[in-house]
Structure 1
């Protein structure tokens, strides 16, 4: 699988500008917020077992057609990165102490999927036909 997800450290996140950023709470409905002037939406994983941000990312990409950066923050683990990309995330800030090189290898383990996803809508048989 081609890695499209930008992987950041906490320090990288802190160094970036914060204008045009919307931090969306886990219990917020993305369909009810204005995305006018927003370049990046940050979705938080308060703990790795809380998957509401996956649904929010999917809604932002597929239903609202948000083309900006959707960033995963909080308790972001390496084994979640591929699913984050498939759900519509375009960047992720790794939990403190996680190695970005390990994160990049995760994408090599899963080169492709049969199903379509938030960014690649067609299933594999349609892409190879």
Structure 2
């Protein structure tokens, strides 16, 4: 079983069957399956089914493709409370930013670097910008 970082810990994956967006939308058993989003796909057909989703995987085919960041932000802004997992070519330096956009699980291509990647989630103690995980910018949070 693959290992991943989930909710601040390294765990072994024990998730549901994963379908691509088209397969998931056509499925009659959506609630028991996960959906994999690829770069360039539209979230619009998925938004009507947020209550049926338990896991959304967002593929990053290359670490330079940032479209997945927007998927997580959009899902969280629309009220999705389930797991959003980044998969593919993600690197340690991106994890903090992925988490700030709404991701709560990370499946790195290189499982040997999971400990180091987990530590990177604590690289910053404060943020200036607003985000999904902290809606107020620093100047609004100051007493």
When normalised by structure 1's length, the TM-score is: 0.81
Query: Can you give the 5+ residue segments of structure 1 that lack an aligned partner in the other structure?
Result: none
Q: 2:31 matched to 1:32?
A: no
> Relative contact order, CA 8 A, sep 6+: which one is greater?
1
User: Which of residues 71, 74, 82 is equivalent to 1:56?
Assistant: 71
Instruction: Look up the match of 1:114.
Output: 128
Determine which structure has the larger strand proportion and give its number.
Answer: 2
The residue correspondences of 1:2-13 to structure 2 (distance < 5 A) are 5-6=7-8, 8=10, 12-13=12-13
Structure of larger gyration radius? 2
Q: 2:15 matched to 1:16?
A: yes
When normalised by structure 2's length, the TM-score is: 0.74
SS at match of 2:128: coil
- TM-aligned CA distance change 1:75 to 1:107, over 3 Å: same
SS at match of 2:122: helix
Between 77-86 and 99-108, the greater mean CA deviation after superposition: 99-108
**Structure 2: distance between partners of 1:17 and 1:29:** 22
- TM-aligned CA distance change 1:35 to 1:17, over 3 Å: same
4+ residue segments displaced more than 6 Å: none
- TM-aligned CA distance change 1:8 to 1:45, over 3 Å: farther
User: Which of residues 70, 73, 85 is equivalent to 1:71?
Assistant: 85
Matched length: 122
Query: Can you give the 5+ residue segments of structure 2 that lack an aligned partner in the other structure?
Result: 1-5, 18-31
